[in-house]
Each structure stands twice: as structure tokens, then as C-alpha cells.
Chains A and B, each alone.
Chain A
Amino acid sequence: MPESTRRRVLLLLGSLVVWWPVSAHAYLGPGAGFTIVSTFFVLFAALASAFVVLLTWPFRWLLKAMLRPNRPGPSKAKRVVIVGLDGQDPELTEKWMNEGLLPNFSRLREQGTFARLGTTLPAESPVAWSSFQTGCNPGKHRIYDFLVPNRKSLMPELSSANVMAPGRTLALGKYLIPLGRPVIAAGRKSEAFWSILGRFGIFSTVLRVPITFPPEKFDGVLLSAMNVPDVKGSQGTYYYFTTDSKDKRSLVSGQQCPMEATDGVAKGELPGPQNSLIKDGGELKIPFRILTTNDGSGAAKLQLPNETIELRENEYSPWVTLSYTAMMGFTVKAIARFLLLGQKPHVRLYVTPIQIDPENPALPISHPVSYSIYLAKKQGSFATLGVAEDTSALNECVIDENAFLQQAQDIHLEREQMFFDALAKTRRGAAICVFDLTDRVQHMFFRFHRDTHWGAAVADERHANVIRDLYIQMDELVGRVMKEIDNDTVLMVLSDHGFKPFRRAVELNRWLQQSGYLTVNPAATTPDMLQRVDWSKTQAYAVGFGGIYLNIAGREARGIVPKEDAARLKREIREKLKLLRDPQHAGSPVSEVYDRDQAYKGPYVIDAPDLVVGFAPGYRVAWETVTGGFGETVISDNTRPWSGDHNMNPPEVPGMLFCNRPMDVEHPNIVDIAPTVLDLFGVTVPAHMDGKPIMNGGTNARSGVPVRDAPHSNVPTAIQQPVN
């Protein structure tokens, strides 16, 4: 519309209102009314809340001051900011710092501290981040691995959380009305340091720290991370749709779904959660159609029941909200992204795991619940799945490296956005965020990285610099964080473990079988989830990333090993495992085998694996063992894209710690972080914590102690790291 015409129209409309001389003069109609009413309520709510907050602030302050315990010491910092870079390797960081590629990390090193950070046994995220937040060894927080065996059902299960349906339901015909909410049992024991800070009135913002699901109540805000399930209740099931009936894939972490194609339209159904509101309700599904084009543009349309999304080949859609209707008035909201992999000759579509919608969470994923809603409304939808970067889809070759990188980077940007908002909102107290990009990308791209023990063998140059560029990206992030903080802020940048190449896979259950400790039931048809084990003839079995469990009588449901034989059997297995040799390479694949009774202390040691294998760099437990399965050979090449790992002997894969202040000890450990933060705020470190404050002036600092006291360590003294 030309400007002059537009002006005339506006003038005419204005005239109509001004000149109309009846009682409706002041009323602009429902259209304007909507806006005016909305605006009125917004302003009313804002002003009313300002009034109430101002009026009540002195009383609330007084009440909190009266109710909370007194801090024994003064705060040494106004704010503590912790940036977690999951899996960033200290060796690589140091190398690139020395090459001048990481100026901000170098600045932190010069200002304060750079050290190897002792990690946990095993050196993996759920265990290490649990120790980070509780200041305890795994014997006190009970997280020993991603997967642990259920001693009764003899099936592997998730260690950190268990989501159960509401206990009681009201049956009305075919409908089942839940009388209550789903129960989420937390696997992690002990107390996170931000909960302790909260008791002293110190506010914390905690973003995406692993093993914070279900979210716990405390004085602050928290967004859960690792182990938040998708809407199906799994840890991330992606979908691969294709119209090609000959394209048959055996996916483990994903699900292949067929699509029907007719006249340029492909039809499919998006699987969702089980319909628990109807007896035998089955899986909820959302039908969709893909309208393809022949113009060579790569464009297509995705038609969902209430929405049409434009797709382009090899470009992710934005987050799309999906509504699964269980029955009238009951919908489960979810989000997913779509990637059209191809249209000709067959339509191929990848769908990310269908995740809990942060704006309408089906399960609580934040504390308070409104925090995830706040974030979603502020910055748009974001990935909520515990392990959101879909390494499985790349590992199973459904998406390629570029698609994976794009997805991981998008998720990282979402985290950055929420973290910088958290920095702005948390002027006092603790602001903590863990970024997973470093871990996920290294897992999938170590095969392209030349500077490794196996480096010379790498021929593929396509992504040779991805890891180096990743570290540079993290350096830039740290630089931006440093600009946001003042002199009263303590900044820690740390990783929970390092990274090494994963070239050879060790199949522990096959080794146990060949060594005579495990017997396979020849009649069993399922090779996975310990289903092939003949328990009546099995002394030991393996589940998870290096855990070996004895089949102890009275503890395991079908145990046969007498308790008094356990110590001898452990010694025997340990000695034999250390003698294991790789026929293709010199040296032992196993650096150390740890006995839980020496490695862990605390009330939950009884739940620990009896032995934990510390693999030499380059070796890791085989994928089959992780879920209680069996591979063909004991040691085989790892040919999957998942080519970097950290589930190795902990001294070989320490994390790193940077701080803008100097430390008192040379050998910090991840369990020291929680006590250090408490000490910085003048809060007494609880006696149950294994770590000690390490920052200058820390009252409990063990200045100059080169190795940790064994009872306080999560890793035996013998495997403590040399420090840079």
C-alpha cells in the first residue's frame, strides 16, 4: 500500500472514531479491546508485583535472616561462576595454549590457576558431576555408572533416576484416570552444594549440570540435564523415516519407521508416549505428510495436524511443538526437529528424539517448574533431553558429521543464551553451567584428530580441525564470560574428565565367559541385557562402562558365589584381567582393576560394582558389554564414528581446572569443588564431604599436599595425577 493511501486510510479510521457521536465513542471494539485488556493486565501484574515485592522485601529479608543459620565466616567472593566444559582435555588445552590458540585460557592460567583435576572412578560424566556437586566419592552419592544391574530382576537399569507411573488410577470404563502424578525417584544421594548454599540464603542458578533430574527444591533456579528422558521415557530415541522398502537398518538407539509414498506425498506417523489414560491404549501417534517437490530446490513441506513446516534438504527445521492427544482435554506436549535427508528417489527423514516441551513440561525438568517455561518464553524452545546431542544417529550413520555438528552447535547456542541470562540475573551467589559440546564432539570426531596416540593412521582430512576449532570456540566463550565478571567474582572453568582415542573395544562378558566365570545359556535368544547368562553357572558378569559384578548368593536374585569367596574371586579376576593382552598391539589393554572396597567409602558402597576396570588409553569396554550383552571376540577394532572416550583408567584422563584465583593445593580433585565454593561463601564444609577447600585462605586447605588421603579419595592414592 503506498504511503499516501495508507495515511488516508489511517486518517479515515481515526475520523470514524473521533466523529461518531454516540455512547460507544470511547469503545474501540473487541479487536482493540483484546490489546487493551491484555496490556492492562500485564501492566497491572507488573506494577502490583513491584508494589508487593517492595512492600514485603524488608519483611522477607528479616524473616530469612532470622530463620537461616548464621554463616561462620565472611564471604570471600560475591559471586562464584563455574563454567563446566564436559570432557575438555587438559593435555590438548595446554598444547593449544602453548601454540597461542587459546588466549583466554592462557590469561586465566597467568591470573590464577591451571591444573589437572582428578576425576572419579570411573571417569565418566554422571559419576564425576555427581562428585562435583556433592563433594563426595561415589560411595556416598551412589552414582557409579550410567547403567547398573538390578540385583533382583538381573536387568540393567538407569542409575540416576527412575520415572514411575502414578501409583493409583481410577478406572472409568476404558479410561484410567491417574490419582496423582508420576513418581520420579532420584538415584543420586547426598546433597548438592547449591542446596547447602540455599539454606544460608545464597542464591544459585544451575544450568544443565548432569544428574540433576529430578530437580530438587532449593533457594535458586535449576534446569536439569543428563538423564532427563524423552517423551517415550527413553534416554533419547531418534527416528528414521523412509519410503524405501529396501532400506532396512538395524538401529539400536533409534527407530526406523516406514512411510507410504503416493503422488509426491509421503505419509508417516510420529511415535509418542504410551497412552496411559486408556486401557491398552498403545502408543500415541501423530500423523504427518511430506509434500515433495520436483523443482530441484530441495524444498518440501511437512504437514502436521495443526501446522505446516517448510523443510529444505539437509537443513534442520526449528523446534516444532507436537501435541499428542491421549483423550479429549488431555494432551502431552513435546518438541522435535526434523531433518529432510533426501527426496529422490526416496523420501528420507530424520527426527530428533521427541523431547519434553520446556514450555509445557510433561515432567518437571526445572526448579521451580516455571524456570523452564521462563527460559522457553525468553529464548524460544530448546533441547531438554539429558543427552540432547544425538551421537547415536551419527554412530548409526543415519545422519552425517555435518548434520551432527549443526545440531550440537545449535544446542550449544541455546545453552550459551541461557547461561548469559543467568549471569545477568545472578549478581550474587553461584552461577553454574555445564556445556556438553566438548564431550559430544570429541566422542564423534576423535577419529579425525591427528594428534593422538593413533594419530598417524588417520587418513580422513575432512574434519581434521574440528576438535582444535572446538577448543578455540570454548576459549572465546570463556573470554566472553570473563568480560561479564568483576573482581569480586571467582571464575572456575573445569572439565570432569579428559579425552583419549577409543580404537579397540574389550568385550568383558566374552572374556568372563572364556575365563570360566560366566556361562551362556545356549537356549537364550536375546543376546542383550544379560538375557543370555545362565545364572546357575555364572560367578561374575559385566554391565556398564567397566563394572564387573559378582553373582553373590543372597545379593543377586540367583546368586551362587558365597560371600566369603568374594574377596578371593575378586583377586583372581583382577590378576587375570591385568594379564590380558591385545594380540594386535603391544602392552596391556587393562591398566588397573579397582576393588570397590579400596576405591570407595560410604554407605552406598554395597551398590558399587565389585570390580572396576581401568582401561589403558585407546581401549574401552565394548558397546555390547555396556548393556549386558556379548560380542563375538574379546578384543576388536572400534569401527564406529564414536571414536573418542574417557572411560579409561582415571589417571590417564584427568579433567582440568582453570580459576582466576590461585589455589592452595597442587593436586585438586573434582570432589574439592563443592567444599571450595561453600568455603568461598563462608559456609562450613559438612564433615561428610570428601573434598577440601582449595582456594586461597581456605580454612581446611591442604597446602602442598601432593596426593590425597586415601579415605577421602574417590580414586586410590596410587592413581593420583601428576600436576602441571
Chain B
Amino acid sequence: MTSAASALNAVFNLVFGVLYGMLKWLGPFWSLTGIACLTGILMVWIFGKVSNQTAIERTRDRLSAELIGLRLFKDDLRVFFGIQFQVLAWTFKYLRHSIVPMLILMVPTVIILIQLNLHYGFRPLRTGESALVKVKLRAASAMAAESSLTLRAPENLQVETPGVHVPDLKEICWRVRGVRDGRFDLIVSDGKDSIAKQVAVGGRLEGVSTIRTGESWLSCLLNPGEAPIPVQSVIESIEIRYPELDILILGKPMNWLIPFLILSLVLGFAFKGVLGVKI
């Protein structure tokens, strides 16, 4: 399963890497807008394919009729509240028709969000900026070998602190600082095996992998930035706490998810007529 997840990651990484590479010159906001637009259209198209369009159209029409009815028959309160009940009933019917396509749409949506989080969730360290490196071990027994667990950094990264051990959490933490722009590998070694974790330094807009993990196929799928850690290693994951990437909208920083949500919805709605899809 893990290898299948790795293969899928390779495909998605390639596709989104190409897409991101084509758009990133636009800057974070506009490249995200482009991807949101494509996502909105794709989702609407999939929704059209996996939903019962006739039933949804009929249900929406009935809902619209009842909403118009609220205005037409507002002076008779009994009729008015009867229509209110109909609105609720048809809303639930609408949700019933939407639930299966909603669940199906989650698959591509989750994949897209994972990939976007890789590119827009965090930014590389700037030169001179520090970040926490957190190594999580598989078992408490591995903590016994703590004296042999070492962190090696290339010359472009500087390890600022000795490892801090948190036995309850099975974690060892260091602080590293970027010295020069580039992508570098930190090496965590237990004496027998060495596991590398990529660290990105620089002011460019580029995707960063926050965590390298290998616990399961699901973890692998959810963290596609780097190859999974072999199962036999005592190390469960290595995480870099990168700063979050803020997207500036009207001068205000914002998490990428908010503009993406709004833009994909708005653009999806805008294209549903063109695609002939009833939502």
C-alpha cells in the first residue's frame, strides 16, 4: 500500500509541479487564483458526472418555487408557514441528492488540497531565519539510543542548539538556521541508519515539505513532499517547523485556504452554466 501511495504521490507531484511551475511567476495570489479556477471547473465537471442531475434540477426547482411562494403568499400565515415547511423538506431532499457526489468529490479535493498545502502552506526559511527540527522516534525504547542519535547539517545550515529530549513524546528537537539560499539535506543518524530531511532556504516562492514520515500508506499519501522513511528505521518522522506562507490580499496576510475556498466556489459557480451542470 505504501508503495502504491508513493507511486500516486509521484504522479500528483509531477502534475502539480508542472502546473505550479507554469503559474508561480504570477506570485502567490494570482497563481493560487489560477489553480482555484481550474479546481472549481474540475469539481463542477466531476459533480455533473457523478450526481443525479435530473433529480438535483427538479429538487432545486421545487426549492426555488417554494421560495417564490413565500413572497407570493405572505399574507396568509398558515399558507406561509406551510411553504416554510416545504422549503425545509426540499432542502433535506437536496442534501440527500448531494451527499454521494459530495463524498466522491472529497477524493480529488483532498488530493488537490494536499498538493496546494505543499506549495502554499509554508514558505522556505529566509537566510538567517531559524526553525525547529523535530524528530519523532517509533518506540520509547529507541530513546535509550539517544546518545547515538545525531543531527548533521551541511555548511549552509547551522545547528543552533543541542538536541532537547522529550521522552514522554518520544521526540528530540533541534533549532537550525539557514545560512545561504538553497535546498539542503539535514542528516539524522542513529549510528546504523541515516535519514535525510530536506530544508529549503531562500526568498523564492517554492513548495516546501514540512514533514518526512513513513508510518503508513495514509501518512505517505497525506505527506507527499518526500519519500517515506523506511519501516525498519527507529525514526518515525522528521519535521521542520517552517513559517506559514501568508498571501497578501488588500495588504492583509491571509492563509491560502480562505482565498482558495472563495475563489474556487465563485469560479466554479461562474462556470456551471457553461458546463451545463446543475448544482
Known: A13-B104, A377-B62. A46 touches B95 (CB 8 A): no
A274 CA / B124 CA spacing, docked (Å): 63
Q: Quick check: B72 and A370 within 8 Å, CB to CB?
A: yes
**Candidates A14, A22, A221; contact of B72 at CB < 8 Å:** A221
A265 CA / B39 CA spacing, docked (Å): 39
Provide the A24-41 mask, 1 if CB < 8 A to any CB of B, else 0.
100111111111011100
Q: What chain B residues lie within 8 Å of A59 (beta carbons)?
A: none
Asked whether any CB of chain B lies closer than 8 Å to the CB of A371, the reply is yes
A42 CA / B91 CA spacing, docked (Å): 8
- Closest Cβ of chain A to B156, distance in Å, is 29
- Closest Cβ of chain A to B213, distance in Å, is 12
**Candidates A29, A53, A306, A425; contact of B106 at CB < 8 Å:** A29
Asked whether any CB of chain B lies closer than 8 Å to the CB of A378, the reply is yes
Asked whether any CB of chain A lies closer than 8 Å to the CB of B75, the reply is yes
A28 CA / B105 CA spacing, docked (Å): 9
Q: Quick check: B46 and A31 within 8 Å, CB to CB?
A: yes
- Closest Cβ of chain B to A654, distance in Å, is 36
Q: Quick check: A34 and B268 within 8 Å, CB to CB?
A: yes
Q: What chain A residues lie within 8 Å of B106 (beta carbons)?
A: 13, 16-17, 28-29, 31-32
Q: Quick check: A45 and B75 within 8 Å, CB to CB?
A: no
A45 CA / B87 CA spacing, docked (Å): 10
Q: Quick check: A29 and B81 within 8 Å, CB to CB?
A: no
Provide the A360-389 mask, 1 if CB < 8 A to any CB of B, else 0.
000000001011011111101000000000
A703 CA / B84 CA spacing, docked (Å): 47
Q: What chain B residues lie within 8 Å of A45 (beta carbons)?
A: 67
- Closest Cβ of chain A to B276, distance in Å, is 7
**Candidates A17, A43, A370, A380; contact of B91 at CB < 8 Å:** A43
Known: A306-B276, A378-B62. A30 touches B72 (CB 8 A): no
Which residue of A23, A24, A45, A203 has the most chain B CB atoms within 10 A of its CB atom?
A24
Closest to A359 in B: B61
Asked whether any CB of chain A lies closer than 8 Å to the CB of B167, the reply is no
Q: Quick check: A24 and B70 within 8 Å, CB to CB?
A: no
Asked whether any CB of chain B lies closer than 8 Å to the CB of A20, the reply is yes
Q: What chain B residues lie within 8 Å of A189 (beta carbons)?
A: none
Known: A23-B257, A29-B109, A377-B68. A34 touches B265 (CB 8 A): yes
Provide the B28-72 mask, 1 if CB < 8 A to any CB of A, else 0.
000000000001100110110000000000001111111111111
A690 CA / B226 CA spacing, docked (Å): 92
A57 CA / B80 CA spacing, docked (Å): 11
- Closest Cβ of chain A to B200, distance in Å, is 19
- Closest Cβ of chain A to B258, distance in Å, is 10
A27 CA / B73 CA spacing, docked (Å): 38
Known: A16-B107, A50-B81. A374 touches B72 (CB 8 A): yes
- Closest Cβ of chain B to A45, distance in Å, is 6
**Candidates A27, A57, A375, A427; contact of B113 at CB < 8 Å:** A27
Closest to A49 in B: B70
Q: What chain A residues lie within 8 Å of B63 (beta carbons)?
A: 42
Known: A306-B276, A428-B76. A30 touches B39 (CB 8 A): yes
**Candidates B76, B98, B104, B265; contact of A30 at CB < 8 Å:** B265
Q: Quick check: A368 and B72 within 8 Å, CB to CB?
A: yes
A234 CA / B42 CA spacing, docked (Å): 44
Which residue of B60, B63, B109 has the most chain A CB atoms within 10 A of its CB atom?
B109
Which residue of A17, A37, A46, A374 has the most chain B CB atoms within 10 A of its CB atom?
A46
Asked whether any CB of chain A lies closer than 8 Å to the CB of B15, the reply is no
Provide the B99-128 mask, 1 if CB < 8 A to any CB of A, else 0.
001111111111011100100010000000
A371 CA / B71 CA spacing, docked (Å): 10
Q: Quick check: A425 and B102 within 8 Å, CB to CB?
A: no
Asked whether any CB of chain B lies closer than 8 Å to the CB of A10, the reply is yes
Asked whether any CB of chain B lies closer than 8 Å to the CB of A330, the reply is no
> SS class of chain B's interface: helix, strand, loop or mixed?
helix
Which of chain B's residues 112-160 have a Cβ closer than 8 Å to chain A? Answer: 112-114, 117, 121
Which of chain A's residues 294-312 have a Cβ closer than 8 Å to chain B? Answer: 306
Closest to B255 in A: A23
Closest to B279 in A: A34
Q: Quick check: A60 and B67 within 8 Å, CB to CB?
A: no
Which of chain B's residues 244-264 have a Cβ closer than 8 Å to chain A? Answer: 255, 257, 261, 264
Q: Quick check: B69 and A46 within 8 Å, CB to CB?
A: no
Known: A23-B255, A374-B65. A16 touches B101 (CB 8 A): no
Closest to B39 in A: A30
Q: What chain A residues lie within 8 Å of B257 (beta carbons)?
A: 23-24, 27
Q: What chain A residues lie within 8 Å of B255 (beta carbons)?
A: 23
Asked whether any CB of chain A lies closer than 8 Å to the CB of B242, the reply is no
Q: What chain A residues lie within 8 Å of B71 (beta carbons)?
A: 49, 370
Q: Quick check: A427 and B43 within 8 Å, CB to CB?
A: no
- Closest Cβ of chain B to A41, distance in Å, is 10
Closest to A15 in B: B218
Q: What chain A residues lie within 8 Å of B91 (beta carbons)?
A: 39, 42-43, 46
Q: What chain B residues lie within 8 Å of A32 (beta carbons)?
A: 98, 102, 105-106, 109
Q: Quick check: A30 and B109 within 8 Å, CB to CB?
A: yes
A22 CA / B103 CA spacing, docked (Å): 19
Q: Quick check: B68 and A374 within 8 Å, CB to CB?
A: yes
Q: Quick check: B47 and A31 within 8 Å, CB to CB?
A: yes
**Candidates B75, B87, B108, B264; contact of A42 at CB < 8 Å:** B87
A412 CA / B47 CA spacing, docked (Å): 37
Q: Quick check: A37 and B47 within 8 Å, CB to CB?
A: no
Q: Quick check: A30 and B276 within 8 Å, CB to CB?
A: no
Asked whether any CB of chain A lies closer than 8 Å to the CB of B184, the reply is no
Q: Quick check: A377 and B64 within 8 Å, CB to CB?
A: yes
Q: What chain A residues lie within 8 Å of B88 (beta carbons)?
A: 43, 46
Closest to B74 in A: A53
Q: What chain B residues lie within 8 Å of A34 (beta carbons)?
A: 43-44, 47, 265, 268-269, 279
Q: Quick check: A13 and B107 within 8 Å, CB to CB?
A: yes
Q: What chain A residues lie within 8 Å of B192 (beta carbons)?
A: none
A368 CA / B46 CA spacing, docked (Å): 38
Q: What chain A residues lie within 8 Å of B269 (beta carbons)?
A: 34
Q: What chain B residues lie within 8 Å of A30 (beta carbons)?
A: 39-40, 43-44, 105, 109, 261, 264-265, 268
- Closest Cβ of chain A to B245, distance in Å, is 12
Which residue of A10, A53, A57, A221 has the most chain B CB atoms within 10 A of its CB atom?
A53
Known: A23-B255, A23-B257, A46-B70. A33 touches B265 (CB 8 A): yes
Asked whether any CB of chain A lies closer than 8 Å to the CB of B94, the reply is yes
Q: Quick check: B98 and A29 within 8 Å, CB to CB?
A: no
Q: What chain B residues lie within 8 Å of A27 (beta carbons)?
A: 113, 257, 261
Q: Quick check: A425 and B110 within 8 Å, CB to CB?
A: no
Q: Quick check: B265 and A31 within 8 Å, CB to CB?
A: no
Q: What chain A residues lie within 8 Å of B84 (beta carbons)?
A: 46, 50
Which residue of B78, B87, B95 has the most chain A CB atoms within 10 A of its CB atom?
B87
Q: Quick check: A31 and B101 within 8 Å, CB to CB?
A: yes
**Candidates A13, A306, A370, A428; contact of B103 at CB < 8 Å:** A13
Asked whether any CB of chain A lies closer than 8 Å to the CB of B227, the reply is no
A84 CA / B193 CA spacing, docked (Å): 92
Q: What chain B residues lie within 8 Å of A50 (beta carbons)?
A: 70, 80-81, 84
Q: What chain B residues lie within 8 Å of A306 (beta carbons)?
A: 276
Q: Quick check: A38 and B80 within 8 Å, CB to CB?
A: no
**Candidates A20, A221, A368; contact of B222 at CB < 8 Å:** A20
Known contacts A15-B218, A425-B76, A427-B79, then 6 further A-B pairs from the complex at CB < 8 Å, ordered by chain A residue: A20-B222, A28-B109, A31-B105, A34-B279, A46-B66, A50-B80
The 8 lowest CB-CB distance pairs between A and B, nearest first, are A29-B109, A31-B105, A378-B65, A377-B65, A35-B98, A30-B43, A374-B68, A46-B87
Sampled A-B contacts (28; CB under 8 Å) = A13-B103, A13-B104, A17-B106, A17-B110, A22-B222, A28-B109, A29-B113, A30-B105, A30-B261, A32-B98, A34-B268, A35-B98, A42-B63, A43-B91, A45-B67, A46-B66, A46-B70, A46-B84, A46-B91, A50-B81, A60-B75, A203-B76, A376-B61, A377-B64, A378-B66, A378-B69, A380-B61, A427-B79
Residues in chain B within 8 A of chain A (CB atoms) = 39-40, 43-44, 46-47, 60-81, 84, 87-88, 91, 94-95, 98, 101-110, 112-114, 117, 121, 218, 222, 255, 257, 261, 264-265, 268-269, 276, 279
